[in-house]
Amino acid sequence: MAGRTCGAEYEAFAYHGGALDVARRHVPGAPKPWIDLSTGVNPHAYPLPDLARDVWTRLPESDALAGLEAVAASRYGAKPETVVAGPGSQSLIQALARIAPRGAVAALDPTYRGHAEAFGAEGVPLLEAASLDTLAEVDIAVVVNPNNPDGRVAGRVDLLDLHERLSRRGGWLIVDEAFADFDGQDESLAPVLPPKGAVVLRSFGKAYGLAGLRLGFAIASLDIAETLRTALGRWPVSGPAIAIGARALADPAWTATMSARLGADATRLDALLERSGWRILGGTRLFRLAAKADAEAAFHRLLSAGILTRPFVGAPDRLRFGIPAEEAHWERLSAALRA
């Protein structure tokens, strides 16, 4: 059995997910290979195509980047001129925090903490808001939709109303749709983006299972889009990311098939957790949030079994579980939960 983690280790596990290096140090004798269920990244990755040699050997051409952004616009139902590609949605969050007008910033809470850290690095504390009405009182409002970690979805009509209230004072609305490819797509703000003061963020790596590629998109009203491009600088996306991203985003059949597969996986995971005494609180097709009185102890038992989940410092009765990648992983998780 793994010993209890110290504060710094537990914080590393709770920060974002994917802290396998910390897990390996903490439980060096855990069964191999490790099963990482902490990230919310699609375990069924898009198949990598063969790439031309010059994708690796030359700096990306501006036309290639524009082509990628056009394909992304089609995929998300946005206008091409509003799409800005970047090296992952987290980098786009940090760039937005740098260029945003100074003022009060708040997020619909509880939610992904990357926004708070990005604005905090710019000396702007991110306030916690309990409702969209409260968000309407600040200068920059952040809504993660679907929300991480509970899958809460805010309706498109409500978000447009929030934007209207913010825009009267020149405010911004940032909607982080990192998990919207398979859940809440009908509520996406991308197809109805307001002409001023609005940004929608989309993650490529989570949906397509290629987080290491580092690719994401901001769909930004024109008053923000050009400033954001300048902030990202030249060659914001690598040649391989452009080539792979354009191929994947133009493959709707893969997306449809994957949505059905992940839906079945999420239903199976809910049933497995409930049989082990967990209560499902919500989630998306890429992760499930579950509660149990001894969740913290269960986190350590799973670590001992070589399975990393996502704990929460402020909610010790909860864990977030990603989708197992293959049948052997399902079997190991089931055995560890029974134990």
Residues 131 and 149 in one domain: yes
Residues 89-107, mean pLDDT to the nearest whole number: 97
Quote the domain boundaries for residue 88: 53-250
Q: What is the pLDDT of residue 313?
A: 85
Same domain, 78 and 110: yes
Neighbour order of strands in the sheet with 105-108: 83-86, 216-220, 198-203, 172-176, 140-144, 105-108, 126-129
The model's confidence at residue 14, banded by pLDDT at 50, 70 and 90, is low
The rounded percent of the chain whose pLDDT value lies above 70 is: 96
Q: Secondary structure of the chain: what % helix, strand, coil (to 5)?
A: 45, 15, 40
Q: How confident is the model at residue 15 (pLDDT cuts 50, 70, 90)?
A: low
* Predicted local distance difference test score (pLDDT) of residue 1: 38
What confidence tier does 8 reach under pLDDT thresholds 50, 70, 90?
A: low
* Same domain (yes/no): 197, 312: no
Q: Domain boundary residue among 250, 276, 302?
A: 250
For the stretch 130-164, pLDDT in tens is 999 999 999 999 999 999 999 999 999 999 999 99
How high does pLDDT run on average in the chain? Answer: 95
Is residue 307 one of the residues assigned to a domain?
Answer: yes
Please compute the mean of the pLDDT values over residues 65-89 and round it to a whole number.
98
Structural domain contains residue 1: no
Is the predicted pLDDT of residue 253 greater than 90, yes or no?
A: yes
Q: Are residues 67 and 165 in the same domain?
A: yes
User: Which backbone phi and psi does 158 adopt, to 5 degrees?
Assistant: -65, -40
Q: What is the mean pLDDT of residues 316-330?
A: 97
